[in-house]
Amino acid sequence: MDSIDVALYISYTLTILAGLAAIVFPIINSVSDPKSLVKAGAGLGALLVIFLISWAISGSDVTAAYADLSPSLSKFIGGLLTMMYVLTGLALVGIVYTEVSKAIK
């Protein structure tokens, strides 16, 4: 059983190191190429705008089944769900557009 515990701790450590590397290396690469930071910032800004619009149109109603949720948390969750629906729709439209434009060429 001790070998399983050791293997789990090693896997936890390697997972954390991989996560840190996935965060740190793109940042190091972006610092050497500032134009990529502008593109990343534009993407994050677009996601923020989509979330804010989704959050603004979502309701804060809480049903009796979810009485332990606050109205602000309900509005936040509604905003996230609406954002997911919008992004999924945009992805599907992009896929259809790409396939149709390939078929026409």
Find out whether 73 and 59 touch, Cβ atoms under 8 Å.
Answer: no
Contacts of 96 (CB under 8 A, 6+ apart): none
Per-domain residue ranges of the chain = 1-32, 34-105
Is 10's pLDDT higher than 70? yes
Q: What's the rounded Cα separation, in Å, for the pair 82 and 84? A: 5
Is 22's pLDDT higher than 90? yes
Q: What share of the chain is helix, strand, coil (3-state, %, to 5)?
A: 90, 0, 10
pLDDT in tens, 58-93: 988 887 787 788 888 989 999 999 999 999 999 999
Q: What percent of the chain has pLDDT over 70?
A: 98
Contacts of 29 (CB under 8 A, 6+ apart): 36
pLDDT in tens, 26-63: 888 888 887 878 888 899 999 999 999 999 999 888 87
DSSP annotation of 69 reads: S
**pLDDT, position 57:** 94
DSSP annotation of 68 reads: T
End-to-end alpha carbon distance in the chain = 61
**pLDDT, position 1:** 62
